[in-house]
A = this chain, B = another copy of it.
Amino acid sequence: MARVYNFSAGPAMMPTAVMERAQAEMLDWHGTGMSIMEVSHRGKDYTAVAKKAEADLRQLMAIPDNYKVLFLQGGASLQFAMIPLNLANEGDTVDYFNTGVWSEKAIKEASRFCQVNVVASHSSAIPEMSEWKLSPDAQYVHYTPNETIGGLEFQQIPDVGDKVLVADMSSTILSRPIDVSRFGVIYAGAQKNIGPAGLTIVIIRDDLLGKARVGTPTMLNYQSAADNDSMYNTPATYPWYMAGLVFEWLLDKGGLSAMAIINERKAQKLYAAIDQSNGFYANPVKPSDRSWMNVPFTLKDAALDATFLAETAAAGLTSLKGHKIVGGMRASIYNAMPEAGVDALVAFMHDFAQRHG
């Protein structure tokens, strides 16, 4: 079978060019007679791979020099604990926006370690600034720029004054340029826009290091990772290598400004297909707050869901089933999804609506 257009929310489609390169050097990396998977993380070959990946990510995101880039494990879910353990003490107040399922998970875990103040809650629109209830004494303000399940996205970085801003960028990182200097900490699980599952990237302003509370496990202290170039112990070497290949691919494509143009256009095409379907398809999110990366939509008649999924799969458009919490469909259209994939889905949706509308 040829490569399909895979709309999985994560682990997600990888660029085919990246997969082909990884395949070609699988058993013999750069003439060494070994896979990069098989070499010591402390050897010169792997160290070069690791440093190159970091340098390329720094270039892609224009990360200022006073930020450390960490390549960790455990996913965003482990960050939900690491953020409060590293940035606040027991009893401290921390501010969280609640814009959906992933915000709620972050809030639930942080509540085990701090006093959480919910700044504002909405699941189908980004809360207006007039509704925000920021705490005067919060140690940081946390938000989820893109909700993978709900499909809503902050189009602007929230202005929280001089507070430390923390963002779970798992499903939006690398989709467009962002001003890293506005953030205290950015974290992201790799399995959407970065690379394979099992890698977590943390970008942290260096003055926030060294503040972990007493009793924080060494592996959960950002300082341990920062002091050891993310090699306090053996990192997830192969996912890190794959992420490096993705970063190179993004630079070749023109970087994040170029990706943003494509990503916005891909999203607009898909939302237009939904909005112009005379109600056959629907998306509940306020149009100005819709995600560029995750497009959930429902069919007017849920009885057609199974047919839609079977026919799209047969047409090489896979993994469109929506998250069980919201039902319906979800098309995740990360950087690796070619515009041709979105075009094929839009054409299918139009045809399906014609046949069943």
Contacts and interface: CB of A to CB of B under 8 A. Distances in A.
Contact of A191 (B19, B28, B218, B234): B234
B1 A33 contact: yes
Interface string A213-229: 00101111000000000
Nearest to A324: B42
Given A11-B237, A234-B10, A218 B77 contact: yes
A235 interface: yes
A232 interface: yes
A301 B19 CA distance: 46
A32 B20 CA distance: 16
Task: Give chain A's interface residue range (CB within 8 Å of chain B).
Answer: 35 or more
Contacts of A39: 6, 8, 11, 319
A131 B196 CA distance: 48
A95 B26 CA distance: 43
A112 interface: yes
Interface of A: 1-4, 6, 8-14, 16, 19-20, 22-23, 26-28, 31-35, 37-41, 43, 73-78, 80-82, 85, 109, 112-113, 189, 191, 196-199, 215, 217-220, 232-239, 242, 316, 318-319
25 contacts: A3-B27, A3-B28, A6-B39, A8-B38, A11-B38, A11-B237, A13-B38, A14-B37, A14-B38, A19-B27, A34-B318, A39-B319, A73-B236, A75-B233, A77-B218, A78-B219, A81-B219, A82-B217, A109-B218, A189-B234, A197-B234, A197-B235, A198-B199, A198-B236, A198-B237
